[in-house]
Amino acid sequence: MTKSEELFDRAKKTIPGGVNSPVRAFKSVGGTPIFMERAKGAYMYDADGKRYIDYINSWGPMILGHAYEPVVNAIREKALQSTSFGAPTELEIEMAELIVSMAPNVDMVRMVSSGTEACMSALRLARGYTGRNKFIKFEGCYHGHADAFLVKAGSGVATFNIQTVPGVTAGVSMDTLTAPYNDLAAVQQLVDEHKGEIAAIIIEPVAGNMGCIIPEPGFLEGLRAICDKEAIVFIFDEVMTGFRLAAGGAQERLMVNADLVTYGKVIGGGMPVGAFGGRAEIMKHIAPLGNVYQAGTLSGNPIAMVAGLTMLKTLKDNPAIYKELDDKTEYLHKGLSGALTDCGVAHVINRFGSMISVHFSEQPVNNFAAAASANNLLFNNLFHAMLENGVYLPPSAFETWFISTALSTKDIDYSVEIAGEFLATLR
């Protein structure tokens, strides 16, 4: 028995399902989750000391690899001054100023402690600002586990094939309107059917919770136009894409403006953190300036702030990082596509910036239904073949892969080789 198997058996006695986030349970791919002990650069090491090339990177924030020394040193130094105050610090101002300087259309920022909290708060703000209750989300997009967002969510909910989530009331569900991703006509129909009732449209501008799903030309622009015409608040969930796709996130990369933006992961350099921000006209409705209440004892936590500040400054001061990320992701794309083609395996590889996903499908994968209809059993088999040979992929076909600068071409070549060896057995 491996140490991970021993730890999983032990964990199941005191932790529901043995894990603290469902996708970690390996329920989609089967098998026992791997318990990690440490990580450095492009590699993670499990409880048995086995090394893995990491294509998750803590679900996105480790853009510069694990244990990036400047971030680690900043955390160490700040921790000596206390891990929390419950009072304002200058670091919070510096972080807000840095985000505003990097992200388009963001005038003000409120720090929170997770991406879920950021999205929940942004939706509440949109409702308070507009005086409306309903909102539109997209099938397969995951905006955290707040009740309103668990209607036709992607990622973990899709992995567990949960269509109706116990604990989410019918009233909440009635205010959540859903449309297929990349289907502008469906959104227009919802808006027409609920005239004057919709507070917000929230979207992952590049979706990462049904694999990497790219917005088709004109889709986001069309949503922006609908929001302008109908006085609807347009929310970009950039928990994954923020500061990863570009210094200014998806707004900069795709050149589409949002009214509110949510962040997480990256802005804490891997520490638990989140934020939401946007136009001052809307943000001024948040307490204590306005009547839309939002609070958090650990919001602006000094450890998270100094980690995120160090990370974001590095990204802002070194724009070549984004070129390196894109180049390495393209190199991986070409290698995998070559291996799949050589083995005669039908496939679609979606890539945008440093996000990428592999779908075993003969049709384009541009929404949740297309992702769900792919041969996901084949993905599960690929996952285990890679894992056995020291390559750690997301344990679900409904997750995007994330690339870091720490990943070398040698790591990528090895990963492609292992994938090719497995795929050759399918002939």
The one catalytic residue among 55, 142, 322, 392: 142
| Active-site annotation holds for 13 | no
DSSP reduced 3-state for 310: helix
Q: Alpha helix locations (H) across 211-301?
A: 219-230, 249-254, 280-283
CA–CA separation, 197 and 77 (whole Å): 50
Residue whose pair of structure tokens reads 């919709």 in the numeric block? 198
The answer to whether 182 and 369 have CB atoms below 8 angstroms apart is no
- Write the CA distances from 41 to 24, 50, 53, 69, 280, integer angstroms: 21, 15, 9, 10, 38
| Active-site annotation holds for 142 | yes
CA–CA separation, 280 and 284 (whole Å): 6
Query: Could you tell me which residues come within 8 angstroms of residue 5 by beta carbon, excluding any fewer than 6 positions away?
Result: 32
Q: How many CB atoms lie within 10 A of CB 345?
A: 18
Q: Which two tokens stand for residue 390?
A: 């020291």
DSSP reduced 3-state for 199: strand
Q: How many CB atoms lie within 10 A of CB 404?
A: 25
The one catalytic residue among 265, 322, 328, 392: 265
| Active-site annotation holds for 237 | yes
Residues in the chain: 427
- Write the CA distances from 25 to 16, 20, 55, 144, integer angstroms: 10, 9, 17, 18
Handedness of CA 145, 146, 152, 154 (dihedral sign): negative
- Write the CA distances from 247 to 108, 149, 379, integer angstroms: 17, 27, 32
CA–CA separation, 234 and 123 (whole Å): 10
Q: Is the bond preceding 288 in cis, omega lying within 30 degrees of 0?
A: yes
Beta-carbon-side half-sphere exposure of residue 308 (alpha carbons within 13 Å): 32
Handedness of CA 356, 61, 218, 202 (dihedral sign): positive
- Nearest partner of 415 among 381, 391, 394, judged by Cα: 391
The one catalytic residue among 46, 54, 175, 237: 237
Say which amino acid occupies 148: A
Rounded to 5 degrees, φ, ψ at 176 are -100, 110
What does DSSP assign to residue 22?
G
Catalytic residue IDs: 142, 237, 265
